[in-house]
Amino acid sequence: MMTTPLFRDDAYLREAEAKVIGHTPEGGIVVDRSVFYATSGGQPGDSGLIDWDGGRLTIATAVKVEGGGIALVPAEPRPLPPIGAALRQRIDWDRRYRHMRVHTALHLLSVVISLPVTGGQIGADKGRLDFDMPESPSDVDALNAALAALISRDLAVTDSWISDEELLANPGLVKTMSVMPPMGQGRVRLVRIGTAETQIDLQPCGGTHVARTAEIGHVEIGKIEKKGKLNRRVNLILS
């Protein structure tokens, strides 16, 4: 049951039509095309609403299912739209947009702290990256200033695709130490910040991002936590 991920081609799409192509044993609604981002890569699935002839459901999140499908997970147990039903999907745009801002800001954080990443998480109010970092940064003010400078440059955020083989031949593109980007589909999505002349970051990523760095707005490094002998968790707060 393959689902077309509409959010991948247009992260700003808020509504879309879809058809129900299946149900999961857990009560999820598998659709043929999804404007809801499915939980992955540290980014939560989208929430929102679906409407169909005779019903409406609040959607708590979206998840990936076997075979390349995406299932919309209702917020409460209620009758599901039947297979074949036409739906109108509407995401909680405010929440999604904050995820986009945080996600792009974390890419910038990986630029100003140029160390291997061991984990990460995205939220609507903050995000975090875990770094292979024996000691905490000595000058957080300087890091905040560097982040603000990159945001204010209003750099373009774009994507492109390379083959699995090209990624394997360029291991430096992968910043994460413990998790490889999803492979096996023949191609991998790259997210670029800046143009060919102004590029500051290029890494595999399947998440949603703002179109330009100025959209991030104000962010600030919060608590830095020790998570093991060589790991530091850097929290990033979104205003």
Q: What is the CATH number of the domain that holds 58?
A: 2.40.30.130
Q: 49 and 14: one domain? A: yes
Q: What is the pLDDT, as a whole number, of residue 228?
A: 84
Q: 216 and 232: one domain? A: yes
Q: What is the pLDDT, as a whole number, of residue 70?
A: 98
Whether the pLDDT of residue 200 is over 90: the answer is yes
Question: Distance between CA atoms of 174 and 73, rounded to whole angstroms?
Answer: 31
Question: Distance between CA atoms of 216 and 152, rounded to whole angstroms?
Answer: 9
Distances (CA, A) of 98 to 60, 182, 200: 16, 24, 22
Q: 198 and 130: one domain? A: yes
Q: 108 and 64: one domain? A: no
Q: 160 and 224: one domain? A: yes
Q: What is the CATH number of the domain that holds 110?
A: 3.30.980.10
| Range(s) of the domain holding residue 199 | 96-238
Question: Distance between CA atoms of 35 and 91, rounded to whole angstroms?
Answer: 7
Name the percent of the chain lying above pLDDT 90: 82
Q: 101 and 213: one domain? A: yes
Q: 184 and 104: one domain? A: yes
Mean per-residue pLDDT over the chain, rounded: 93
pLDDT band at 31 (very low <50, low <70, confident <90, very high): very high
pLDDT band at 34 (very low <50, low <70, confident <90, very high): very high
Of 212, 209, 207, the closest CA to residue 37 belongs to 207
Q: What is the pLDDT, as a whole number, of residue 181?
A: 63
> Which of 76, 91, 106 represents a domain boundary (last residue)?
91
Q: 103 and 86: one domain? A: no
> Which of 46, 70, 91 represents a domain boundary (last residue)?
91
Q: What is the pLDDT of residues 148-159, one digit of tens each?
A: 999 999 999 999
Q: 160 and 52: one domain? A: no
Q: What is the pLDDT, as a whole number, of residue 211?
A: 98
What is the average pLDDT across 107-121?
95
Q: What is the pLDDT, as a whole number, of residue 84?
A: 97
Q: What is the pLDDT, as a whole number, of residue 170?
A: 82
> Which of 30, 64, 91 represents a domain boundary (last residue)?
91
Contact 33, 1 (CB under 8 A): no
Name the percent of the chain lying above pLDDT 70: 96
Q: 158 and 192: one domain? A: yes
Question: Distance between CA atoms of 48 and 74, rounded to whole angstroms?
Answer: 9
Q: What is the pLDDT of residues 120-134, one digit of tens each?
A: 999 999 999 999 998
The values of phi and psi at residue 45, to 5°, are -70, 155
Q: What is the pLDDT, as a whole number, of residue 26?
A: 94
25 vs 176, which has greater pLDDT? 25
Give the count of domains, the chain. 2
What is the average pLDDT across 92-120?
96
Q: 23 and 121: one domain? A: no
Token pair 């179109």 is at which residue? 211
Q: 84 and 103: one domain? A: no
